[in-house]
Structure formats: C-alpha cells, structure tokens
Chain A
Amino acid sequence: MLDARGLVRRRLGLRLWLSGGWLLLLLFAALLAPWIAPHNPLEQDLFTSRLPPFWMPGAEPGYWLGTDSLGRDVLSRIMHGARIALIVAFIAGTATMLIGATLGLIAGYYRGWADIVISRLIDIWMAFPPVLFAILLIAVMGPGLTSVIVAIIVIDWTRFARVVRAEAMTQGAMDYVASARVAGQRRLGTMLTEILPNVLPTIGVLLTLEMGIAVIVEAILSFVNLSISTDAPTWGGMIAEGRLAIHQAWWVLVFPLITLFLTVLSFSQLGEGLKDRYDPVLR
C-alpha cells in the first residue's frame, strides 16, 4: 500500500513539472516571439510555399517546421499564435473567474432570492450548446479578439458559479462560520474573510482548467473564422488551413495541432495536479 502511494506522489510531481514546463516554454515563446521567431509570421513568399519540415527532402534551412501554401513560416506563426492563445487564456480566464466566483459566492452564502435568480440563470445557461452560443455571440459582436474574450466570459461564468456556490453552501453551514457570526462579524465580512479563503483552492483549480478551455474555444472560433482576421497567426486558423491542404502539406495541420494538444493537456493536467495536491474538497 505504501509503495503504491509513493508511486502516485511521484507521478503527480512529474505531471506538474511536465505541464508547468511546457506552459512556461510557451510563455517565453509568446513573450519573445517578435525577437526570436525566425521569420515574420505574416510574410508571404510564393517561392517558398509548402516547404516541408527540416528533416524531409526539399526543406530549406531556416524554415524548421516548413511553410504553408502562402509561404509563411509555420514555426513563426505558431510562436505568434501562442501570444493570442495566452492572452485569451489569461484575460478570459481571470475575468470569468471573477464574475463566476462572485456570483457563486453570493448565491451560496446569502441564499434567498439572490440564490434563486442566479441558480435559474445557471439553468438557462446550461440549456445552451456552448459552442453554438459562442459563435452566436461573435456573430452579434463582430469578429475580433475582444469578442472572443467577451464570449468566453459570458458563456463560462457558470462553471465557476456552480462549483463555488455548492462549496460556499457547504462552508456556510459549518460551525466556524456560525461562530464568526456569533462573535459579531457582519455577513459580508464573514463571506470575505471566512468563506472565501476556504473556497480559494477550488477557484484556483477551476481557473487553471478554464484557461485550457479558453485556449480551445479561441482555437475553435478561429477555426470557423470568427476570431481575429484570417491573416493573423492563430492556431485555429492554421488548423483550418491545414485541414484543407491536408494531402499536400500535412505539417501545416500537424504542428499547430500538436502545440494546441500539449497546451490544452498541460492546463488540464496542471489543474488536476493542483487539485490532488491542495484541494481536499474537489479530490
């Protein structure tokens, strides 16, 4: 039994390291993209179109992962695409967390009519297919990075609200909360100083997971051509292009796909790892 537990511990550690490492690498690539990317991600050159990656015959030095049908460097586009993906992940993730967690906290701790309204809203939101809802919102707001971020916030706040509400309800029923109230603390104060700290680990885990979701939503929206302009280097846009030219130039699809795959996997593994480590409730 002891042996097995040691094994799990070690695997968890490895999981956290690997996913954290990949995300850090991605962050560096994104921050430094204008300086370290080998080419301009928008530069088209029909003489270098559909060059294969470096190990294949016909590859050109300097174009490590090949080029797409317009001669744009795949590696440089992936690195610049990382900027968009991470911007969406951080801004949309954080804003979703703030709104969702606040509503969840209020509903779960104050109960009463606030809870009724918020819970009913959650029910309504759960009846929408999320991808369709996102596409609809973008169509309404017009394509663009801001629209993508707003769409993610509007759709995904329920993820936080649901879990935090349930959590706040459990915590609110505990003795330590009652004793804080008996000691004369006001409700808002109790919520912020007693309930919130105990819900924070859960919120942190959800935030990590939400960032992964935001990355995938951005990719899906740029895949259906509703994110920022088609020229701009987005992973989803590259994947859409690669899907069309899959028989002529598979690398245009494969490399952004691998990047997206690893990124989404890393965010979720990081979340799961944090959950196992710090959060006795979600575990």
Chain B
Amino acid sequence: MLLRRILTRLLTTLVTLLGVSVVVFVVIRVVPGNPIAMMLPPGATQADIDRLNALYGFDRSIAEQYVIWLGGVLQGDFGTSIQARQPVLRLVLNRLPATLELSIMALVIAVVLGGFLALTGTRLRGSRGEGAIDVTNGMALSVPDFLWGLVLILVFGVLWPVFHISGRVSPQYIQEFTTNFFLFESVLRLRLDLWLDLVSHMLMPALALAIPLAAIIGQLLKQSLKETMHLDYVTLARTKGYRENHVILREALPNAVLPTLTLIGVQFTFLIGGTVIIERLFSYEGLGNMAIDAVINRDLPLIQGIVILFAVLFTAINLIVDLLYAVLNPRLRHA
C-alpha cells in the first residue's frame, strides 16, 4: 500500500511540474515587448532580427517552441540566457546554493525560535507570560517577511549597526571559496573568520524570513502541547513525581510534534518563495535577486529556468514531507 501511495504521489508531482512548465511557457510568450529587440544595437536590419529570432526559436509557434524546449530540458539543456549569454542551468545552479543556505538558516532559526515560544508558553500557561507570548505570536504572524526585513534593516543596520544589511559576504573573502556553498564550506574548513563574516551578513535576511514561520510553529506546537497535556498518560507522569520540564519535554512533546512537522514542510516552501523579495531587499546574491534582474531585463530563458527550478524545489519538498509523514505516522502506514 505504501508503495502504491508513493507511486501515485510521484505521478501527481510530475503532472504538476508539467503544468507549471506549460503555464510559465505560455505566460512568458505573451510578452508584448520583443525581447530580441533589446539585444540589438540601434540600426540592426530585419535580417539580423530574423536571425536572432531563429536562434532563440521565437519564430516558431508556441506549441513547437514548447516541445523543443521540453526536449532540451529532459537532456539538461535549459537554453541560454539572453543577458549573460551563458547556459541557464549553469547560472541557476551557481546561485542555488546561496538561496538554499539562506533558506535553511532561516528554517533553523524559525524552528528554534518557534519551539522556544511554544515550550515557554506551555510552561507559563495560565499566566500573564502566556498572554504576552500569544500577542507576540499574533503580531509576528500577521506581518510578512518583507516588512520584518525593513524593520531589521532599520534597527540593526542603522540605529544599532551591528550586522551587515547587504550582500552575502565581504568582498575581500569572495576569492577564498572554492564551492558556492559558502557557509557549509566555511564550517568544513573550520574557518571561523569566514563563518562569522557570512553569518553577520545572513542573519538579518534569515531572521526576516524566519519570524513569520517561527510564529506559526509557536502557535501550532503550543496548541498541540496544550491538548496533549490533558491526556491521562501525562497526568500519570506528573503523579509519578516528574518535574514539569520533564513532563513537557519528554512526555508531551514527542506526541505533540507531528502536526508541526507537517506544517513546517508546507511552510518551508512559502519561506523559500519569500527569499525572492528578501534577497532583493538585502542585496543578497541568490536566485531570487537574479530572478528580479532577469524579469527587468526580459531575459526569458533565464526567468523560465528560475521559475521551473523553484517549482521543482517546492514540489520536491512537498513530496518529501508527504512521504516522511506516511512513514512517521503509524496510522497511515497501514491505511
């Protein structure tokens, strides 16, 4: 049964991805402005235009272009960026690590912060402290990452300038890296100086992304904990004389954590979607920032590649979460 579930899920994922590629392809090709026109020097002849159109395939019908493009994609060829004149796949893969590192850092912050809020809220339940945590959560939840980013820039970039508010790493360090996973590499090579510089650049954008998610995690986990705390086995643990902290962490938490895990999976994709504008705000050289430049430059092949990559990332995460859930939840395993 599990196998069949996995296969069905894989199939729907494929259908979704195919749908995404069709939508992107069609939307982009409705562009009224001709992207070719922007590449030409003034005084180019019609023959030049035709030649470039043929080169990028813009002279064929949309359906034909799609089939050709899809054929290329299946062989790992996403076309050539109009602006950078380099393979889209290479450009995109070069930027992907920056976005992944930022997203994962944000996720870790969100989980730690949200978990802390939920546990403290449970520990303080019934007191003013719990009320304060609920209000904080509500605030953090209703304001999106873009605004948190601006607030962080004001507070930690201007009023009390302790963190960097633009870029990924200080310019003098860029030559030091051999891979594009800067943060990961700095840890592996035990380069504390590089690591500190990276973190002081990444902390603000990561925190901006993390705050809304932390609030969601805090809210849901606290709710689940509250329900679990009323169960008989928890009362039993308490009558056995275990301390409150032990009861919450060891008895209630393991049973309360599953809904939050699922939620984190879904919300993680939203967080990655948020990197687009946050990277722009903090001039962080990731995929999102490149995407906005590509849109402004009307670099069709590049936009296409980036959107598809994001979609693959999203569906992959959803797939993994679903499968993990099926494996982790014994009730679904035998369903």
Chain A residues proximal to chain B, CB less than 8 Å: 4, 7, 120-121, 123-124, 126-133, 135-140, 142, 212, 216, 219-220, 223-224, 226, 239, 243, 246-247, 250, 253-254, 257, 260-261, 264-265, 268-269, 272
Instruction: List the one stretch of B169-177, B245-253, B290-298 in contact with chain A.
Output: B290-298
* 6 A/B residue pairs, CB under 8 Å, sorted by A: A128-B311, A129-B276, A132-B291, A135-B276, A224-B292, A247-B158
Residues of A within 8 A of B292 (CB): 135, 224
One digit per residue, 1 when the CB lies within 8 angstroms of any chain A CB and 0 when it does not, for chain B 279-309 equals 0110000001001100110100001001100
Out of B126, B139, B142, B277, which one reaches A220, CB within 8 Å?
A: B277
- Interface set, chain B 214-241, CB cutoff 8 A to A: none
Residues of B within 8 A of A130 (CB): 273
B24 to chain A: closest residue by CB: A136
The yes or no answer to B327 lying at the interface (CB within 8 A) is no
The yes or no answer to B196 lying at the interface (CB within 8 A) is no
A139 to chain B: closest residue by CB: B295
Min CB distance B29 to A, Å, is: 9
Residues of B within 8 A of A272 (CB): 138, 142
The yes or no answer to B192 lying at the interface (CB within 8 A) is no
B314 to chain A: closest residue by CB: A127
Min CB distance B316 to A, Å, is: 10
Are A224 and B280 neighbours in the complex by a CB distance under 8 Å?
yes
- A243 in contact with B153 given A128-B311, A132-B306, A136-B27 (CB within 8 Å): yes
Are B17 and A269 neighbours in the complex by a CB distance under 8 Å?
no
Out of B15, B33, B277, which one reaches A224, CB within 8 Å?
A: B277
Residues of B within 8 A of A224 (CB): 277, 280, 292, 296
Are A129 and B272 neighbours in the complex by a CB distance under 8 Å?
yes
Are B146 and A253 neighbours in the complex by a CB distance under 8 Å?
no
Min CB distance B153 to A, Å, is: 7
Are B16 and A123 neighbours in the complex by a CB distance under 8 Å?
yes
Complex-state Cα separation, A137 to B272, whole angstroms: 19
Most A-side CB within 10 Å, residue of B12, B138, B153, B276 = B276
- Which 7 A-B pairs have CB atoms at the shortest separation, nearest pair first? A129-B273, A268-B142, A124-B19, A127-B311, A139-B295, A131-B276, A129-B310
Are A128 and B288 neighbours in the complex by a CB distance under 8 Å?
no
Are A265 and B19 neighbours in the complex by a CB distance under 8 Å?
no
Interface of B is mostly: helix
The yes or no answer to B150 lying at the interface (CB within 8 A) is yes
Complex-state Cα separation, A129 to B153, whole angstroms: 24
Are B20 and A246 neighbours in the complex by a CB distance under 8 Å?
no
Are B274 and A131 neighbours in the complex by a CB distance under 8 Å?
yes
The yes or no answer to B31 lying at the interface (CB within 8 A) is yes
One digit per residue, 1 when the CB lies within 8 angstroms of any chain A CB and 0 when it does not, for chain B 139-160 equals 1011110110011011001100
The yes or no answer to B42 lying at the interface (CB within 8 A) is no
B296 to chain A: closest residue by CB: A139
Min CB distance B281 to A, Å, is: 8
The yes or no answer to B83 lying at the interface (CB within 8 A) is no
A4 to chain B: closest residue by CB: B126
Are B154 and A250 neighbours in the complex by a CB distance under 8 Å?
yes
Min CB distance B204 to A, Å, is: 13
Out of A124, A139, A243, A265, which one reaches B142, CB within 8 Å?
A: A265
Min CB distance A196 to B, Å, is: 28
Are B315 and A127 neighbours in the complex by a CB distance under 8 Å?
yes
- A140 in contact with B31 given A130-B273, A220-B277 (CB within 8 Å): yes
The yes or no answer to B43 lying at the interface (CB within 8 A) is no
Are B20 and A216 neighbours in the complex by a CB distance under 8 Å?
no
Out of A127, A212, A246, which one reaches B17, CB within 8 Å?
A: A127
Residues of A within 8 A of B272 (CB): 129
The yes or no answer to B330 lying at the interface (CB within 8 A) is no
Residues of B within 8 A of A120 (CB): 15-16, 19
Are A257 and B150 neighbours in the complex by a CB distance under 8 Å?
yes
Out of A127, A260, A268, which one reaches B20, CB within 8 Å?
A: A127
Residues of B within 8 A of A223 (CB): 146, 277, 280-281
Are B16 and A124 neighbours in the complex by a CB distance under 8 Å?
yes
Residues of B within 8 A of A261 (CB): 143, 147, 151
A154 to chain B: closest residue by CB: B27
Complex-state Cα separation, A138 to B310, whole angstroms: 18
Complex-state Cα separation, A212 to B154, whole angstroms: 22
Are A136 and B295 neighbours in the complex by a CB distance under 8 Å?
yes
The yes or no answer to B44 lying at the interface (CB within 8 A) is no
Complex-state Cα separation, A140 to B32, whole angstroms: 7
Complex-state Cα separation, A120 to B147, whole angstroms: 32
Are B154 and A253 neighbours in the complex by a CB distance under 8 Å?
yes
Are A257 and B151 neighbours in the complex by a CB distance under 8 Å?
yes
The yes or no answer to B162 lying at the interface (CB within 8 A) is no
Complex-state Cα separation, A262 to B30, whole angstroms: 37
